[in-house]
Amino acid sequence: MRKLPEKEDIQTEFKPNFNTEVVETLVAFANAKGGTVFVGVHDKKGTPLGITIGKESVANWINDIKSITSPQIVPDVEVFSIDGKDIAAFSIAEYPVKPVSTRGKHFKRFGNSNHLLNSQEIANEHLKTINSSWDFYIAPNHSEKDLSDEKIKKFANVMRQNESIGQLEMSDTQILEKMEIFRGNKITFGAYLLFAKDYCSISDVQIGRFKSDTMIIDSLSLNCDLFQEVEAIIVFIKKHLKVEYIITGNPQRTERLDYPLDAIREIVINMIVHRDYRDSSASIIKIFDNRIEFFNPGNLYDGITIENLLSGNYTSKSRNKLIAKTFKEIGMIERYGSGIMRVRKICREYGVKEPDFYEMTGGFQVVLYNEVVDYGSENDTVNAENDTVNAENDTVNAENDTVNAGNDTVSLKKKQQLILDSIAVNPYITSEKLAEIVGITAINVRVNLAKLKEKGLLERIGADKNGYWKIINKGDPK
């Protein structure tokens, strides 16, 4: 005997009676992954109420659904009984041609509710049906005169070495036509965004350096081709990052920025590639003392959620297939759909807080932080609580090590004790040298130095470049 599902979900809906809402839900299912509407069931409690089913009821219901849907959909209808109460189950599969509408309205199933699609979402559903995207379409207000021959030639030269093109004798135009960047004698929206000669009207990016939420001290406006925008954004951001110079045994100093530049580049490329360029809003980047906010017009694409992004449990689909393909062909994207996971990994390895991700009205935001975080054994592949350090054949027990700071006894882990002991010998010691002695990364050395400063055991005297470390309450280092 058939049973009712326990609750409504992305493929299940309860309705007490057959009405227009049943049809709207079937349309929403057809535009998503399919589903079943159970008619004769309490829509809040999910308990059977029953429905009167006459000899012609099923045929009439199907005719009603066909008459007010476009393209016409025909659900399977199954009638069954629970506790003597008749239930009608209307099932529809995902429709191959989208979007389906009813009375001129288009719905799609998200979670356990129906979402009324706006004009852009309707266009997206159609483009997905024909396996295309907006940037493949002809830009009616632009022509080859709006494109830079020099930029096209540089790109074509790169592509001539690409095995996917495989024809060294192809002209620049033929290469772009093969990639569908040019279509016949017309240019696509993708071509306009990728190779705009001067001003590009739809690629607006605004960047600002803020000293507070309202005080801006430097800014940059960009309306140029996408390749140029990526580099210009990264140059501007890097100009406003703090730099630590680490003295090593090498002839040149090692430079460390307070943010991982690889993560910044990954975020910038993803925002340029996946932005909704049909939205008139600009991409906005705000640089603060402790964070960088990246805002992009356009919500997450194709029903992907923040949870999907963080878990990696999703199939990547690009809003701008042509732009994404072009960036991938020249090596600026390694593979589709891995950007968020890669950014999180870069931040962990760099020893800074993982970024936050937000969906908000009209767009998507990533917030990158420079806050130093100790990820412990995740980055060092050691267990900080159980490791022992052999120093001249003496095993140090981290749980028992203590240092007397004034009248207070502060418990220290073995790594921090070894750092203090090394500084006592050489107050000018570098993070790199400490890393060699302690057996951890230079990043985690700096994390532990910060913790020792917070505990009041250590102080930095002078600038990062020419200064030295002072151990508090253990006498000034000589």
Domains (range + CATH), the chain: 12-118 (3.30.950.30), 134-195 (no CATH), 205-369 (3.30.565.60), 381-471 (1.10.10.10)
Which residues share a beta bridge with 182? 187
C-alpha radius of gyration, the chain, whole number: 30
Residue 125 binned pLDDT confidence (cut-offs 50, 70, 90): confident
d(CA 20, CA 245): 68
Indicate whether 380 pLDDT > 50: no
pLDDT tens sequence across 430-468: 787 788 777 788 788 888 888 888 888 888 887 665 577
More confident position, 247 or 189: 189
The amino acid at residue 438 is V
Q: Over 70: is that where the pLDDT of 398 sits?
A: no
The mean predicted confidence, pLDDT, of the chain is 83
pLDDT exceeds cutoff 50 at 70: yes
CA distance 226 to 191: 10
CB 369 within 8 A of CB 355: yes
Average pLDDT over residues 2-12: 91
State the alpha helices, DSSP H only, in 196-338.
226-239, 261-274, 306-311, 321-329
Cβ atoms of residues 206 and 283 within 8 Å: yes
- Model pLDDT, residue 162: 64
**What is the average pLDDT across 293-313?**
84
Alpha helix stretches (DSSP H) within 394-473 = 414-425, 431-438, 442-454
CA 149 to CA 145: how far, in whole Å?
Answer: 9
Helix count and strand count (H, E) for the chain: 15, 24
Per the model's pLDDT, the better-predicted residue between 109 and 474 turns out to be 109
Tell me the one-letter amino acid at 247: I
